[in-house]
Structure 1
Amino acid sequence: MNWSSLVYVALENNNLKGNIPSSMGYLRDLRSLRLRNNSLNGEVPMALLNCTELLIIDLSHNEFCGSTSSWMGKGLQNLISLNLRSNKFSGQILSDICHLNSLKILDLANNNLSGEIPRCIRNFTAMATEMSNGLRYYYMVKFTNGSYASLLSEDAYVVTKGRELQYVATLFPITSMDLSSNNLSGEIPKELTSLVRLRSLNLSGNRLTGMIPKKIGDMDLLESLDFSINQLSGEIPSSISSLTFLSYLNLSFNNLSGRIPTSTQLQSFNASCFIGNELCGPPDLQQVFGLSVVPYCSSSPGGMPTFIS
């Protein structure tokens, strides 16, 4: 059998152990590599860069380790979905990842990644512009008589609004970035707000500092936004009121202060979304489970909010 023509490897949900063999790099026609939910370990081989036709990589829920930069770069520019969730990857997220400008789904959550979020994420053009290449990807099989037939359509797992969902067939309108539960530090780069096609953004559970970018409201397709459990400071930008599609928000346990911006959308969220900060808001945000967690604020003569418990 000519394995070099293999286009789809799906070995998820087994008890596989050991490393990914470097011979995987000989699969030059490979479109999808799905190894999620096994006990695989070691470093991902650099030979994977030879699989230049890859669209999907899902290595989530394994024990892979090492840096991601050694096997991530220009050779994978066609990649649309990269899921490395729940492994032991470490080191910084280097600029190599920014060569993946076709990415629509990026999940690096629950690893040991450190350092700052690279500013070159603005190069994720598929997260910034509307793509016109249709809703589905199909793998085409060429027969010996020269004819083609569609074999498989693709799906993906995306964690959004606190739940893991499987998107089947309609994968590519979904745009998501999840860098949660790592050791990332520094400020949230303002370049992030150029990714205006994102539907879900999760940076929770890190050590991010500084202010929420003022132009967060430019990301007006966001349905899920989670910046909780960081060290963010300053006020919540008023532009957040422009996120009219937002149905999940969590800014809890930061160092945010001041008045929660007024909008019908923000007032629809439970006060637990804002707990663990020095924020104040309208009376309807005061109660959660019978406890006063977001004080009511009224304007003092000097124009500053007065916190009232």
Structure 2
Amino acid sequence: MILETELEPLSGSSVVTSGTPQRMALEWLAASDPARLPLKNTPIDVITQRYVMATIYYATGGPEWALQYNFLTGKETCDWNSQPQGVFCNNAGYITAIELNNLNLKGELPKEIALLRQLEAIKIGGNKLSGKVPTELGLLSKLRVLHIGINSFTGGIPTELGGLPQLAILDVSNNDFSGHLTGFITHIHSLESLDISHNGFSGELHKSFGNLKNLKVFKASFNDFTSIIPTQLARMKILEEMYLNSNEFKETLPEEFSGMQHLVTLDVSNNKLTGEIPVGFGYAKSLQALSLSENQFSGGLFTDIGQLGSRLKELRLDNNNLKSFLPTELRSLTNVIELNLEGNEFEGNIPSEIGECTGLKYLSVGNNKLFGN
């Protein structure tokens, strides 16, 4: 079979092994494709793209997908879509995006996807994909978006991804990844959003993450990190969101975080952090949500809390070891929506000035040593 000769270098023995997704894709191309391509006269790139997408279809339980998006029809491969999902191509006819989110894909992602060298986006989140992520993804030098979150991938993130020069969005959240997260990700200087949350990563969070100078969103919550929080993370000068909650981070919260002037949201709740809350957060000019709850912070509220003024929307300090009186400066938080101070050792009178927080919808001060209305 001529196709066998052409495709075996791409897929190896899988293409000649009965029952494999690769063999099924080959047989479909040769005998069942409604397009009936004249294989001798069709450019190899066209055949390769059709073969790769057919392989992905068979490898991920295509007949059981929630929607078919024209897959395995007689239409051109670039028309196997229905906005906003499916296969999308550039004007030259090369596949640049695969978007198959929430479609009941299951099985393993075949390495043949890396044959689509013009790919800029892979979005296959919210499925039931399993096994290891193909290391061959590291060959996709034009890839900008890789979203494989909410699946059942195992093992580690391929270190080969560290060589992707244009990758801007990497979402591997809600999988079964585990082990130590080495510093290869920090070589992807183009990253703008990184989500590794809800996995089983352990050990230290490498200080070299601070080298991601273009990062705006960093989510590492719900893992098993046990190190201190590296102060070098404060080098991410344009970071807007940082979620480190629900890990085993210990020791103190780096005071350098209070100098991150673009930071809008910081969540380090549910860890084992100790010491006093660093002074300076009051002058974090972009901060809108600060969650330090369920740690072992001690001392009082940071003295410059009033400087947050109308910017702050959420302040969660519940279930720590905070003491002292509640400062009247809380009155300055005029737009705060949630203020949770419960489960500490605050004492004295509840300041009436809290009534000046006109945006307040949720206030919790229970399980303290406070009195008053």
Taking structure 2 as the reference length, the TM-score comes to: 0.62
> Does the CA contact (< 8 Å) of 1:234 and 1:258 recur in 2?
yes
> Does the CA contact (< 8 Å) of 2:315 and 2:339 recur in 1?
no
The aligned counterpart of 1:253 is 319
The whole-number CA distance in structure 2 between the counterparts of 1:265 and 1:70 is 42
> Does the CA contact (< 8 Å) of 1:295 and 1:308 recur in 2?
no
> Does the CA contact (< 8 Å) of 1:270 and 1:285 recur in 2?
no
Aligned-residue RMSD, C-alpha = 2.5
Matches within 5 A, 1:123-202: 123-127=235-239, 175-202=240-267
Q: Percent identity?
A: 29
Of 345, 351, 366, 1:282 maps to 351
Instruction: Measure how far apart 1:295 and its partner are.
Output: 4.4
Instruction: Measure how far apart 1:243 and its partner are.
Output: 1.4
Instruction: Measure how far apart 1:106 and its partner are.
Output: 0.3
The aligned counterpart of 2:205 is 93
Instruction: Measure how far apart 1:122 and its partner are.
Output: 2.2
> Does the CA contact (< 8 Å) of 2:295 and 2:319 recur in 1?
yes
Instruction: Measure how far apart 1:270 and its partner are.
Output: 8.3
Instruction: Measure how far apart 1:285 and its partner are.
Output: 6.4
> Does the CA contact (< 8 Å) of 1:271 and 1:293 recur in 2?
no
The runs of 5 or more residues in structure 2 that have no matched partner are 1-48, 50-114, 356-361
Instruction: Measure how far apart 1:263 and its partner are.
Output: 2.8
The whole-number CA distance in structure 2 between the counterparts of 1:291 and 1:227 is 15
CA deviations 1:109-156 (Å, max 9, x no partner) are: 0000111011111210222xxxxxxxxxxxxxxxxxxxxxxxxxxxxx
> Does the CA contact (< 8 Å) of 1:13 and 1:38 recur in 2?
yes
The runs of 5 or more residues in structure 1 that have no matched partner are 128-174, 297-306
Letter aligned with residue 219 of structure 2: D
The whole-number CA distance in structure 2 between the counterparts of 1:271 and 1:22 is 44
Name which one, 1 or 2, has greater alpha-carbon Rg: 2
Letter aligned with residue 284 of structure 2: M
Matches within 5 A, 1:18-29: 18-29=131-142
The aligned counterpart of 2:271 is 206
The whole-number CA distance in structure 1 between the counterparts of 2:137 and 2:129 is 16
For the residue of structure 1 that corresponds to 2:184, the secondary structure is coil
> Does the CA contact (< 8 Å) of 2:314 and 2:337 recur in 1?
no
Report which structure shows greater RCO (CA 8 Å, sep ≥6): 1
Matches within 5 A, 1:51-70: 51-70=164-183
Q: Which has the higher strand share?
A: 1
> Does the CA contact (< 8 Å) of 1:227 and 1:252 recur in 2?
yes
Q: Which has the higher helix share?
A: 2
Quick check: 1:16 aligned with 2:129? Answer: yes
Taking structure 1 as the reference length, the TM-score comes to: 0.75
The aligned counterpart of 2:143 is 30
Instruction: Measure how far apart 1:71 and its partner are.
Output: 2.7
> Does the CA contact (< 8 Å) of 2:174 and 2:197 recur in 1?
yes
Change (3 A) 1:67 1:179: same
Instruction: Measure how far apart 1:220 and its partner are.
Output: 2.4
The whole-number CA distance in structure 1 between the counterparts of 2:175 and 2:305 is 36
Change (3 A) 1:284 1:240: closer
